[in-house]
Copies of this chain bind each other. A is one copy, B any other.
Amino acid sequence: MLEDANPSMPKFRKHIFICMNQREAGHPRGCCDPSGQGELQRLFKTKLAQRGVKLVRANKSGCLDQCELGPTVAVYPEGIFYGGVRPEDVDEIIESHILNGRPVERLRIPDEILNTTHEKKRDC
């Protein structure tokens, strides 16, 4: 279980980056936030706050460059990437990974697939 904040060590324990990149409908690489409302980020933020979790930030992020596997969420410092994340997955990621240190394997983008799904065109 993640311990409560220690005032003498205020660095983030986990930093969750939730892609909010927008692309036009029909773009071949897809879009992590088709509604443009940032629902996933707000959901992480709200649920962390509801549970009183400190020093874990649900951060808005630009494109994490795994678009074909999105919606994408990256968790640092461990550098674990999740793909296809839906609002209904947020509780499990918080409970299993953030609070108990067990990444959600069914959503995880394997390291060997990261950065391999497209030509790097560096368009964002």
Contacts and interface: CB of A to CB of B under 8 A. Distances in A.
Interface residues of A, number: 32
Contacts of A2: none
A57 interface: yes
Interface of A: 8-12, 15, 17, 20, 41, 45, 49, 55, 57, 59-65, 74, 76-79, 111-112, 114-116, 122, 124
B77 A11 contact: no
Nearest to A113: B10
The 10 A-B residue pairs with the shortest CB-CB distance in the complex, in nearest-first order: A60-B62, A76-B76, A10-B115, A11-B111, A77-B77, A77-B79, A11-B114, A10-B114, A10-B116, A61-B61
